[in-house]
Amino acid sequence: AAGFPKKGKEPRFTLNLLAAGWFTENGKIGAYVKQALEDVGVGVNLTVPDRPTSIKRIYTDYDFDLAISNQANPSEPVPSTTTYYTSDGIKKGIPFRNASGFHTDEVDALVEKIKVETDAAKRKALVVEFQKIIAVEAPNLPLVELESITVASTKVQNHSNDPNYLAASWHDIWLAS
């Protein structure tokens, strides 16, 4: 709220906070963020729309000042993680991409290098550099990290074998007899 003087009991300014309605936790986090901002004199209009409305407002209409959403990022950063921070990730109407509009030429160039680097040590250094830049410059703030856990019978074979397992086709999963 720095730079915005308080006007008596009125808020310094008001933000529209959208908590995506596909996880109950998003609404709870939204309520916490609302309370924390109001504690420093910022007014908040919190909405928790259903999934289709959330997707439309975040990824098509860009109808929010702040949004609580989720990312499921695998260990492989390209393209699932990097798409939130590059110019080619800005695709109006396509969900779970760069809705903030953040991008820089430096980050775009770095991601292009990450895509083609085959030396593991060099690639790791590029990814670390990418992480440092977005941690400082991007308007995205990780609030909660949920650990994915796979529970499967010992009969289930070939599960969890892809760096983007949650989005994989699972075409090679089979049951042992």
Q: Are residues 11 and 24 in the same domain?
A: yes
Q: Are residues 89 and 134 in the same domain?
A: yes
Q: Tally Cβ neighbours within 10 Å of residue 165.
A: 15
Domain of 8 in residue numbering reads as 1-70
pLDDT digits 0-9 by tens, 99-156: 999 999 999 999 999 999 999 999 999 999 999 999 999 998 888 877 777 778 999 9
Q: Which pTM value belongs to this model?
A: 0.78
Q: Are residues 111 and 158 in the same domain?
A: no
Q: Are residues 125 and 137 in the same domain?
A: yes
DSSP state of 168: S
> Long-range contacts made by residues 143-148, C-beta under 8 angstroms, separation at least 24?
143/29, 143/33, 143/68, 144/25, 144/29, 148/72
Q: Are residues 133 and 156 in the same domain?
A: no
Q: Are residues 123 and 159 in the same domain?
A: no
pLDDT digits 0-9 by tens, 60-111: 999 999 999 987 776 778 877 888 899 999 999 999 899 999 999 999 999 9
Q: For the chain, how many structural domains are there in total?
A: 3
Q: How far is CA 18 from CA 45, 58, 100, 106, 114, in A?
A: 8, 8, 13, 30, 32
Q: Are residues 1 and 41 in the same domain?
A: yes
Q: Are residues 129 and 161 in the same domain?
A: no
Q: Is the distance from CB of 15 to CB of 66 less than 8 angstroms?
A: yes
